[in-house]
Amino acid sequence: MNGPGEPTKRTEDGRLLRQSADSGTVMIETRGVSKHYGPFVALADITITLKAGEMVSIVGPNGAGKTTLVNVLTGLLRTTTGQVLFKGHDIAGIGPVRLARLGMARSFQLVHIFPELTVEETIAVAEIARAGKAGRLWASVRGDDAIHARVREVAAIFGLDTKLDRPARVLSQGDKKLLDIASAFALAPEVILLDEPTSGISTGDKHGIMKTLVEAARTANVKAIILVEHDMDLVAEYSDRIIALQEGRILADLPPTQFFADPAIVAAVVGMKPVRHA
């Protein structure tokens, strides 16, 4: 893991992620999405796009609808109105497994690990799913060199390759978080959604984790990243675009420079939750 130090180098054109031939094509698109729970409107008329090559942050005070939006974008929730398209497929309510097959992965705000599985086994779970080997009852995980190679490769990106044999429950908080994210990367997704990847991590380590993440995304050829984050410093540094939510509506959808230039927007987003190192 990298220490705080100098900021992540952007690519020559100022982007965070590696640009490829299909950069600019739409990966995720929502069209007029709303989500109601009885009389309560959690999301209203959300229309956003995420293009290949982009790293987009979703911000907003607590209760603004971030969690609902994450659940809609990851196919967990059906929408009340509107469509959610991932690579042209309507993914509303399709569920996690099919989402993973289509090429989207996610990590979780709270640490989500398999406590008794080792680092190696955890990453192997994702690799087995990616390679379509899950239905094999008569094969050996241990004897499968392809799985091993991939597991080591992914673990190395996240600096976990020296801890392959350790059960996840004994890892440090930061390593648990990285393992959670590493297993999502092992699916070789085109798009990855990171739900507060640095929550519960000390301020000093946050930049380190973000740097590891962006570098991992470059190595693994992840085409686009959605970052849900509270920490405005991180958002400022690790976004090509920032989408701010307020009371279930889009307040702003702007590049960082313009976003932070508008005090009204910043106040609305930050106002309700003081930034720790403001």
Partner 1 sequence: MTPRLTTLVIVGLVALVGSAPLWATPYHITLMIPAMAYGIALLGLNLLFGYAGLLSFGHAMFVGIGAYTTAVFTSKLGIRSFELVLVASAVAAALFAIPIGLLTVRYVRIFFGMLTLAFGMLFHSFLFKFYHLTGGDSGMRVVRPTLLGQDTQELDKIAFLTGPFFLYVLALLVILGLVMLRIVHSPFGLHLKALRENARKAEYLGVTVRRFRLAAFVISAIYCSIGGVILAVPTGIADPELAYWTHSGNLIFMTLLGGFTNFFGPILGAFSFILLQDQLMSATQYWRFFLGVVLALIVILFPRGLMGILESLMARFSRGRS
Binding region for partner 1 (CB under 8 A): 74, 95-97, 99-101, 105-106, 108, 112-117, 121-122, 124-126, 128-130, 133-142, 144, 147, 180, 183-184, 186-187
DSSP sequence for 42-92: EEEEEEEEEETT-EEEEE--TTSSHHHHHHHHTTSS--SEEEEEETTEE-T
Nearer to partner 1, 164 or 265 (CB): 164
Q: Least distance to partner 1 from the beta carbon of 65, Å?
A: 21
Q: Least distance to partner 1 from the beta carbon of 46, Å?
A: 22
Nearer to partner 1, 47 or 173 (CB): 173
Q: Least distance to partner 1 from the beta carbon of 133, Å?
A: 5
What is the Cβ-side half-sphere exposure of residue 11, based on CA atoms within 13 angstroms?
A: 15
Q: Give the Cα separation of 132 and 130 in Å (integer).
A: 5
Nearer to partner 1, 28 or 44 (CB): 28
Q: Least distance to partner 1 from the beta carbon of 148, Å?
A: 13
The answer to whether 262 and 251 have CB atoms below 8 angstroms apart is no
What does the longest C-alpha to C-alpha distance in the chain come to? 61
Q: Least distance to partner 1 from the beta carbon of 116, Å?
A: 6
Nearer to partner 1, 42 or 187 (CB): 187
Phi-psi label, residue 24: left if phi above 0, alpha if psi -120 to 50, beta otherwise: left
Bridge partners of 252, per DSSP, are: 244
The answer to whether 251 and 61 have CB atoms below 8 angstroms apart is no
Nearer to partner 1, 108 or 238 (CB): 108
